[in-house]
A and B are shown apart, each in its own frame.
Chain A
Amino acid sequence: MSDVLHRVRMTVNARAATIAVEARRTLAEALREDLGLTGTHLGCEHGVCGACTVLMDGAPVRACLVLAVQAEGAAIRTVEGLAAPDGTLHPLQQAFADHHALQCGYCTPGFLMLAMAMLEENPAMEEAEMVERLSSNLCRCTGYAGILAAVRSVMRR
């Protein structure tokens, strides 16, 4: 039964993608292994660290807690889709560089996608809410100061 492959059609970073996966494949693994989008990282695979955060139909979700088969028909956005086609960094990415919001960079894609959703939802977010929202992801290197500064800098005053 594990040999049965399921066809999944979705859009990933605005492009149509079709994959054939085992039912047990998580969305995070499918992005990484079947689509080669290794920017989405796995830090725990049990829903605590947020390193695997992607946007699913506009909302940030933990891609280790979604099965790939459940993404049938969904629009997925990952870190690879943030920069402009010519490679120019998205202002949010640039802000992360400017504010030293990353060291090892392992948590960065998850934080970028989380922050992207925050920005799209409410670009005038109060600081307390930013902290509340950012508390869903873990970073072991930066102590979060740079991450908060970066996100703050792209919010409308």
Chain B
Amino acid sequence: MKPPPFAYHDPSTLEEAISLLSTLPNARPLAGGQSMMPMLNMRFAQPDHLVDLNRIAGLDGVTVEPDGALTIGAMARQRVLEQHPEVARRCPLMVEALAQVGHRQTRNRGTIGGSLCHLDPAAELPLVAAAMEAVVRVAGPNGQRDIAFADFAQGYMTPEMEPEELLVAVRIPAQPAGAGHCFLEYARRHGDFAIASVAVMLVPDAVGRIAEARVALGGVGAVPLRLPEAEAALRGAPDVSRAVAATKTLEPMEDALVPAWYRRHLAGVLLGRALVIAQSRMGRA
């Protein structure tokens, strides 16, 4: 289980990295390595060139925008975000999710950008991005562009970007005032990839009714899914059982290890539990 041979590049600027990726054949970027390295060791990934992003300065910042949104550099380590006061203040959903991303040891290396680009359907951070309606910033030879996460995350483990493009940052709108959130997942062992997961955000109006609900589910589709029927059922006078029943229409992937019905069932269970918690955390706008 040794990685295949590859040429290693460690550019110090973003421009350099993009030019390497756009000129070298079969080149892959390397972020925190917590998914890429196992794939290399097991030779599931066989790049001819590996472009290491770890020495590029300025890609790991956390900044607060004038509108209160967070802009997080793609190379920000998961462990840093987990402890970051601004993340805790503006996106507690992410902090709750991060505690369940692998183990502390892997979070010490793992990055937010790496996780979003790996786009494992059961991973926590893509689910947070879906629930928070994040916008990712992608840089390529022709400059930068912003993509709504929902558009970015369209294909199974394949984000909508070109091989020579790099994710440089993710913008996460601040959690609205008084919003109640909850992130829950179910895995066989602590630290494993979830069989199913759910991220919920309930945004209240001035009198404490649910003005907007966001429900995102992981592990039950090729990519993180939003569940509009459930969201609609929760607005105004919330009908929790109708929201939970909406999971019955899900068509999770069937694999030999986990049958689809079990993922679907868990999604409903987790959603029901998460809504109770999120409601209890909700205040007023």
Contact = CB atoms under 8 A, between A and B. Distances in A.
Asked whether any CB of A lies within 8 Å of a CB of B in the complex, the reply is yes
Interface of A: 1-2, 4, 6, 22-24, 26, 29, 45-47, 50, 53, 56, 59-62, 64-67, 69-70, 114, 132-133, 135-136
Given A1-B48, A23-B6, A46-B1, A136 B37 contact: no
A70 to B, nearest CB: 6
B8 A6 contact: yes
A4 B108 CA distance: 29
A136 B34 CA distance: 14
Contacts of A56: 108
Q: Sorted from nearest, which 10 A-B pairs have the closest CB atoms?
A: A2-B5, A136-B103, A23-B8, A65-B37, A46-B38, A24-B3, A45-B1, A59-B108, A1-B7, A136-B105
Nearest to B32: A65
Nearest to A24: B3
Given A61-B108, A64-B41, A114-B105, A24 B34 contact: no
B52 A60 contact: no
B191 A4 contact: no
Given A47-B38, A65-B37, A24 B2 contact: yes
5 contacts: A24-B6, A24-B40, A61-B108, A61-B109, A136-B105
Contact of B105 (A1, A24, A45, A61): A61
Interface string B82-107: 00000000000000000000111110
Interface of B: 1-8, 10, 30, 33-34, 37-38, 40-42, 48, 50, 52, 54, 79, 102-106, 108-109, 190-191
Contacts of B10: 69
Given A6-B8, A23-B6, A64 B37 contact: yes
A50 B79 CA distance: 17
A3 B190 CA distance: 41
Contacts of B4: 24
Given A2-B5, A24-B3, A66-B37, A50 B48 contact: no
Nearest to A44: B1
A81 B41 CA distance: 27
Contacts of A133: 103-104
A24 B33 CA distance: 13
A23 B38 contact: no
B108 A1 contact: no
Contact of B5 (A1, A47, A66, A136): A1
A23 B50 CA distance: 9
